[in-house]
Amino acid sequence: MQEIVECVTNISEGQNSKTIAQIATAIESGPSTKLLHIDSGYDANRTVFTFIGDLKSLEHSVKNMFDVALGLINMTTHQGKHPRIGAIDVCPFIPIEGITMKSLNSWTHTLANSLSKDYSVPIYMYEESSTNSYRKTLESIRKGEYEKLPSKLLDPLWQPDYGPTKGWEKSGATVMGARPFLLAYNINLKTTDVDIARSIAKRIRGSGYTLDGQTIPGIFPSVKAIGWYIEEFGFVQVSTNLTDYTTCSLHTIYEACTYLAKDFGVEVNGSELIGLSPLEPLLLAAKYYDTEVKNDKQGIELAINKLGLSSIKPFVPEDRIIEFML
């Protein structure tokens, strides 16, 4: 079976089109690497590059990506809405075909060790590649963001898995690891009040919120969420990561946000899928809204319509669904 691994790298640059293009060229340098999608956010100042290939080709692509991105991005002056800890903020690898999670994890550790030495960048391992349970999740590693890295790197509990604790200021740190597939999914609210989006995010995310010194768990254990205002759109979003779409999928979150928004007298106005999605979550949404859907094409169209996936920019299935891209 052909070996296929997906990489969904998040780079802390969403405004300089020349820099984004140069990073894309570096990624495409791998002999069998295919760059599937580029998703940039100006206010977030962040770009998600989705690409696939075999391990040999991906290693070539990722090393060139580090070389270009770390040469062009200066984290000492970086500003953006999206949480971040470094120029190459998070670099996950997802097994698609012909490779086990265990084998991919071993390869990821070897690559991280090499990159940390070549580019003098601190690298934290997360998800399936984590070496410590208390720092398995991205949000725990990224807490405090780039600005808190000086104190974090002095803490014995937060030493990087690979790389230096000094001389990292320009690059920041990188979070890397093998992980299952997740969906990055944002729900639009018809308001500019970011506190509403944050309140809804606290209610739905698994980590919940703190009240009177007690942690109140959220509704969906497999959901991560924050609220933010995006000036270029003129409204706020509940920005989520769905780590297990089989238990909590796109329509589940969309309907939950719609219900909770009513408590604030606010309406949901479509949603935004970042990067690529498997076909299954869209078909699950279609079946939720109409159990009599006849075929995949009809189901996809129904899901796009009901979830408002074209509310910000057109959602073209051939460019956004992994099975079609492969």
> What is the structure's pLDDT at 75?
98
Q: Convert the pLDDT of each residue in 148-179 to its tens digit.
A: 999 999 999 999 999 999 999 999 999 999 99
Q: Is 109 a catalytic residue?
A: no
Strands 34-41 and 46-53, by their bridges, are antiparallel
Considering the entire predicted model, what is its pTM?
0.86
Question: Which residue among the candidates 78, 82, 109, 251 is catalytic per the annotation?
Answer: 82
Give, for all 326 residues of the chain, the pLDDT tens digit.
588 999 999 999 999 999 999 999 999 999 999 999 999 999 999 999 999 999 999 999 999 999 999 999 999 999 999 999 999 999 999 998 899 999 999 999 999 999 999 999 999 999 999 999 999 999 999 999 999 999 999 999 999 999 999 999 999 999 999 999 899 999 999 999 999 999 999 999 999 998 888 999 999 999 999 999 999 999 999 999 999 999 999 999 999 999 999 999 999 999 999 999 999 999 999 999 999 999 999 999 999 999 999 999 999 999 999 888 87
| Half-sphere CA count of 146, side-chain side, radius 13 A | 26
> What is the structure's pLDDT at 325?
82
What is the three-class DSSP state of 52?
strand
**In the chain, what are the domains?**
4-178 (3.30.990.10), 183-325 (3.30.70.670)
> What is the structure's pLDDT at 23?
98
Q: Convert the pLDDT of each residue in 35-60 to its tens digit.
A: 999 999 999 999 999 999 999 999 99
Contacts of 57 (CB under 8 A, 6+ apart): 30, 31, 32, 33
**Sign of dihedral through CA atoms 216, 226, 141, 178?**
positive
CA dihedral of residues 267, 304, 34, 1 (deg, nearest 10): 120
